[in-house]
Each structure stands twice: as C-alpha cells, then as structure tokens.
Amino acid sequence: MIKQTIPIFAISEYLKNTDSTGSHLRYNYDYPLTFDHEKDDVTFRLLSATYWWNFPNISEKLQNNKLRFFVGATQYNVTFENGLYSIDSINNNMAQFFANNALPTDLFVFFADDSTYKTSVQINVAGVYINWANSSIGSILGYTNVNSGPGNGGLWYDPPNLTKVNTISSVLINTNFTTGAYVNGKRTSVIANIPPDVSVGDQVYYSPNNTLECKVTNYTLDEISFYLTGEKGQALDTNGEAFTITGEFIVREKQK
C-alpha cells in the first residue's frame, strides 16, 4: 500500500552542476528526506524529462575542431565553433571560411556516402591539399595522417575509415540514489533511455507511458544527483542548455 508520494522537479539551470559539461546536477534539500528502513519500501520513478538535442560532436573539449590546408605554399588553419555538425554544415562553414579569405567557395567539398558510411573530399583547385596530420576533425571524418592532395583540380580522395559524425544515438538519465536498469549486462544507475526524436537544435520531451520504478538505496537523502550520459556511458556536453527532471518518490509499507 502506498503511504506517501514525494514529487521532485529539477531544472539544471538553477541547480548546482558538478562538472563543466552542464550535464550533472545536484538537488539539495533544506531538510534531509528520511525513510524508515524497517517499515518502508521506497522507489523513485521518472515522470518526464526534457533536454535540447545539441550535444556537440565537434568542440575544443573533444579536441576535434581543427582543420589545416594549403593552397600552394600558403597555410590556412580553420577552427570550428563548438556545435553539432552534419557534413552539410561542415561544408557551409568551410564555404564561409573560403569566402572570407578570398578563395573559391568550392575550393574543396566533402561528400557523405550513405551506403559506405564514408566521407570523401573533392578538391577542385590544383595545388591544394588537406594536412590531416594537423587536422583533428579528421577523427570524425575518417581521415588519418595521409594528406588529401595536392593534385590536379577535380580529384576525389577517400578516407581509410568510417565517418563518425553521429556520436550519440541515445541519452541515458542516471542517478546517485537508485539501482537502475541493466545496460549491456551490467547493473547501472540508469533510470531512463531517451532517444532523440527531433531535429538538431530542438527540445526533446520525454514522458513514458509505462514508468519504471527503481529502488532507492539510501534511506537518508540530503542531496541527490541526476546526470546525462550517452549510450556508452560517456559524459555529454549540454552546450549551455538546461535540462529538466520531473519524478516522484513512492513510499510503500513493507509487506510482512
């Protein structure tokens, strides 16, 4: 029998974050929540959550935001702003860089092949080459240390590796006060798995039809934490955007 429910609403923007990514928040109580270990069974369930689908796949933190190329003997260095990029948006940024430096806007162009999951580059001007050894963005485009070019204009160059632009397929919500779901055969603190169902830059709203009740492991709570990770447990950078958590503690009388 349910004795009590205690609602929780947390907004990361107004609570203390414990790291620089903005994805780990702490919720402090003025007075500790105390449950009777001998008489009560306590669970927590997530009722809804929101986050913004803008976790960067290119950033200074990820150390993959640099590209270096040469036009003849002249060196150019590109630094991408933190963001969630597609191949098209990478091309758009490059076209803007070319225009700002009085270069042809199609100096070189990346093309994604959906059948091979590789991203080729077409270099359209003779004497141009991309120096991948000093281009950290190559790690997600599939390039290693071998230069693309120089050669005659219009040549195509293929990478040795697959493209890894889509670095996150799902967002996991974790806590520090429950035993959660099994993930890849291991018991974790995960209380929800939320795949994005929106376009880049939009807000994801999650409200499960069937809520999962997770057992609370600590019967005295003066502080609780929620944090977001990717499907592999990797930390996520919220890029300065807030996320919200709505849930409730459920207190039941122990069965005798």
Collapsing DSSP to helix, strand or coil, 181 comes out as coil
In the chain, where do the E strands start and end? 2-11, 16-17, 24-34, 40-52, 66-71, 74-79, 108-113, 118-123, 128-130, 155-157, 171-175, 178-179, 182-183, 186-187, 190-194, 203-206, 213-216, 220-230, 244-253
User: Do 173 and 51 sit in the same domain of this protein?
Assistant: yes
Structure tokens, 152: 């005659």
Q: Count structural domains, the chain.
A: 2
127 and 48 share a domain?
no
Q: For the domain that residue 190 is a member of, what is the CATH number?
A: 2.60.120
Cα separation, 161 vs 239, in Å, equals 28
- Residues 82 and 46 reside in one and the same domain: no
Give the residue, 27 or 20, on which the prediction is more confident: 27
Looking at the structure, tell me whether residues 14 and 91 fall in a common domain: no
**Both tokens assigned to 156:** 């195509």
Does residue 95 sit in the same domain as residue 137?
yes
Band of pLDDT at residue 14, cut at 50, 70 and 90: low
pLDDT score of 16 more than 60:
no
Secondary structure (3-state) at 29: strand
235 and 214, same domain (yes or no): yes
Mean pLDDT within 12-28: 69
pTM value is 0.78
In a domain, 98, yes or no: yes
Boundaries of domain holding 75? 66-157
* pLDDT value of residue 118: 94
Is residue 61 in a domain? Answer: no
- Which of the 8 DSSP states describes residue 81? P
pLDDT tens string 122-175: 999 999 999 999 999 999 999 998 999 898 888 999 999 999 988 788 899 999
Domain boundary among 109, 129, 157: 157
Q: Is residue 162 part of a domain?
A: no
Size (the chain), residues: 256
| pLDDT value for 160 | 94
Judge whether residue 17 has pLDDT over 80: no
The last residue of one of the domains, among 157, 185, 220, is 157
Same domain flag for 223 and 181: yes
Same domain (yes/no): 18, 140: no
Q: How large a percentage of the chain has pLDDT more than 70?
A: 96
Residue 60 lies in a domain: no
Structural domain contains residue 163: no
Domain endpoint, select from 95, 122, 157: 157
Residue whose C-alpha is closest to residue 82's, from 240, 190, 206: 240
Encode pLDDT of 216-234 as tens digits: 988 888 888 898 998 888 8
Q: What is the pLDDT of residue 179?
A: 83
Same domain, 79 and 124: yes
- 114 is a domain residue: yes
Most confident stretch, 6-20, 141-155, 177-191: 141-155
Output the average pLDDT for the chain: 89
Q: Are residues 190 and 137 in the same domain?
A: no
Confidence (pLDDT) at 1: 79
My answer on whether 20 and 73 are in the same domain is no
Q: Check: CB of residue 112 under 8 Å from CB of residue 87.
A: yes
148 and 84 housed in the same domain: yes
d(CA 179, CA 218): 10
pLDDT in tens, 65-113: 999 999 999 999 999 999 989 999 999 999 999 999 999 999 999 999 9
